[in-house]
Amino acid sequence: MPAYKNPALPPGKRVKDLLARMTLQEKAAQMMCVWQEKSQKLVDERGNFDLATAKSHFRQKRGLGQVGRPSDAGGGLNARQTAELTNAIQKFFLEHSRLGIPVIFHEECLHGQAAREATSFPQPIGLGATFNPELVEELFTMTAHEARVRGTHQALTPVVDVARDPRWGRVEETYGEDPYLVTQMGIAAVRGFQADASFKDKKRVIATLKHFVAHGQPESGMNCAPANVSLRVLRETFLHPFKETIQKAGAISVMASYNEVDGVPSHANRWLLRDVLRKEWRWKGFVVSDYYAIWELGYRPDTHGHFVAGDKRESCALAVEAGVNIELPEPDCYLHLVDLVRSGRLKESQLDDLVAPMLFWKFKMGLFDDPYIDPGEAERVVGCDEHRKFARQAARETITLLKNENQVAPLDPTKLKTIAVIGPNAHRSLLGGYSGVPKQEVTVLDGIKARVGDRVNVLHSEGCKITRDGGSWQRDEVFPSDPDDDRKQFAKAVTVARKADVIVLAIGGNEQTSREAWNLNHMGDRTSLDLIGRQDELVEAMVATGKPVIALLFNGRPLSINHLVRQVPVIFECWYLGQECGHAVADVLFGDHNPGGKLPITIPRSAGHLPAFYNYKPSARRGYLFDDVSPLYPFGFGLSYTTFEFTNFRLKKKRIRFNEATQVLVDVKNTGNREGTEVVQLYVRDCISCVTRPVKELKGFRKISLKPGETKTVALDITPESLAFYDTNMKWSVEPGEFEIMVGNSSRDADLTKVILTVTK
């Protein structure tokens, strides 16, 4: 038996033996993937494996590295069908490639697997609002299990981009604007996906950090645009979540980003992918390309190009030299690999270095020895009741109360006869981008009806539209709603609203108004953050009825809701809550759950106020002519149906050496009459420093639950890592001096108590 087929040997030895047996063509094949080409090479029109077609296209028996998104074959397969397909494809490559090398199946798992029947959880921006890493880890443990039982080995998530420009359409995919919060959520997600990376129980998958790097602050807020940031900002803000998540959670894969940094596109950036990622951080994983991004090193006519390569052959060479292990999603530029080696432009040893880690994880996952899954188990696990219940819990924790004037919320259904549920988001799918088709999905209207039953009459009217066709994420062209049709709907909505005791108004954005802009015909970035269409007019019409109005915002990015804030007594930021949306909204609306979400990103007053992130430099927010420089709602903000009091704020040690740690302690009391959660937030500022430092930076948080009258003491660590920064020599160090330590329940100064910590040599 060849050594690579011996399961008793360690993966490293098996890789070495296998590589020595592989031809140049077989190595190149491991660096390629098929996705949409499945329909021409592996499956029939119904999504069933086609042996004759597969034999025809892979007749040279060289194998293949990956198959992308098998669940979308034939227009979308259920759990059992996907498991059966992945088993069949895997069997084919094991038996019909010369060396029997298995494939890796990858899937999108941004907030649950983007597949038919999979459980759909809240979007990451909503999960960021939970400030609950334990919840995020459990959520992605469930996602990994659902994906693995269908045959998936690699998830193209989590997104650990730091979102610093809300005009960007991909904000919803991130955990927000703060590098510390993003890091904690990223670590939790990777632990959920990978656990200890032994993969022995066949319930975990490889996590892929994306997008490496600085994708979250594109020029003009446009997807894929250059990231014009300094080296210090690059390291402290954008590289930080990747570094921490790799070193503390062991992320196995990284996806390079579409954008450029300092004139060098990430897929051709040797400094990023080799010097920083592999040498400096000692990372041993593998880099996947973003879809078609190697092609874009030259020119891709339907979107853009970087023009650092004259053709696909040169793009291939640049990506290999930079350290991109595999090209996704189709064989394209990497079709030139063999020729480039034969011509001397590349060395075969370069391919060996890139193929080896991918083979290592195929061995580590047991794909050579135990590659198949049970379709019956897939049917049992995917979309199960346990996961559905957890999706509801995650959705409840996401909901963030921004305003509750005169304690209009929560509603008491025993005191209501009629509720009017109005708005373009009242009775439609609200999953956001990169979503599958869950077994069940509960709209706001249906959730409210289910909660109140026959005791309260629930009326509904759409009120207006946001975009003309209702908001399909996949549809390329987007049309604004028709003004005349909208105003006709206003009249119907007013008639309905006048019959009600209270109006629940579901507005915001949809999957077309904030999404990944992936080509010139499929846009998703915006110049304005205002409510789209005539939603502000709908708000006015509802307020004019004289009935109390409770606004529910559903959106993928923060919106400048100035008009809404002035007009409406109650506002909830919901982001996208996943399949249990309606149930979670009803739980919060009627007080069955006390909202405890906090904003993971600042809500600015307008697009003209950008950038608006809270951790700005001291000279950055001096003021505007004729306008307020402060945000509409600050990072970390969120109200509750109860109230909390912070007292006895103290440092365990007020003076420490630069290499020592201390703790900040604070007593938190629930001073209201409802049980609730509060997020205790720790911010730090270096008062005098050799380079300018932000006015405050989140360095710790703790989510606690308190019964009425209960008090808990919360201790948060302050370590050298909490105080360090890159000095004038770009050395990561703690500078002796005074540090302002701030603790409270949002980043707003009025919500913080401050004390000075002295650090000495």
Positions marked active-site: 290
Measure the CA–CA gap between 511 and 699, rounded to whole angstroms.
Answer: 33
Please name the residues in contact with 749: beta carbons below 8 A apart, sequence gap of 6 or more. Answer: none
What's CA 35's distance to the chain center, in Å?
22
**Strands, DSSP E only, in 518-606?**
549-554, 570-573
Partners of 737 in beta bridges:
759
Measure the CA–CA gap between 130 and 109, rounded to whole angstroms.
Answer: 19
Residue showing tokens 């309905």: 496
Measure the CA–CA gap between 352 and 360, rounded to whole angstroms.
Answer: 12
**564, 565, 567, 584: which is closest to 575 by C-alpha?**
584
Q: From residue 687, give the alpha-carbon distance in Å to each of 617, 725, 736.
A: 12, 13, 10
Q: From residue 561, give the alpha-carbon distance in Å to each of 164, 533, 535, 596, 704.
A: 19, 13, 11, 21, 30
**How many Cα neighbours within 13 Å face the side chain of 398?**
36
**Is residue 379 within a helix (H) or strand (E), and if so which, with residue range?**
helix 375-381
* Residue 369: Cβ within 10 Å count: 11
Q: Judge contact between 366 and 153, C-beta under 8 A.
A: no
**How many Cα neighbours within 13 Å face the side chain of 242?**
32
* Residue 646: Cβ within 10 Å count: 18
Partners of 685 in beta bridges:
740
Helix (H, G, I), strand (E, B) or coil at 421: strand
Measure the CA–CA gap between 296 and 314, rounded to whole angstroms.
Answer: 11
Measure the CA–CA gap between 245 and 243, rounded to whole angstroms.
Answer: 6
What's CA 759's distance to the chain center, in Å?
36
Length in residues, the chain: 761
**How many Cα neighbours within 13 Å face the side chain of 30?**
27
Measure the CA–CA gap between 521 and 580, rounded to whole angstroms.
Answer: 32
**Strands, DSSP E only, in 643-731?**
644-651, 655-657, 662-670, 676-686, 697-706, 711-718, 725-726
What's CA 155's distance to the chain center, in Å?
12
Tokens at residue 741, please? Answer: 């330590």
> Residue 563 is which amino acid?
H
Torsion of CA 561, 563, 566, 570, to 10 degrees: -50
**How many Cα neighbours within 13 Å face the side chain of 254?**
32
**Is residue 488 within a helix (H) or strand (E), and if so which, with residue range?**
helix 483-497
Tell me if the bond preceding 306 is cis, omega within 30° of 0. no
**66, 104, 29: which is closest to 368 by C-alpha?**
104
Q: What is the DSSP string of 314-366?
A: HHHHHHHHHT--B--SSSSGGGGHHHHHHTTSS-HHHHHHHHHHHHHHHHHTT
**228, 19, 177: which is closest to 615 by C-alpha?**
177
- Rounded to 5°, angle at Cα 636 from 664 and 616: 90
Helices (H), 131-274: 133-148, 179-194, 231-233, 240-249, 270
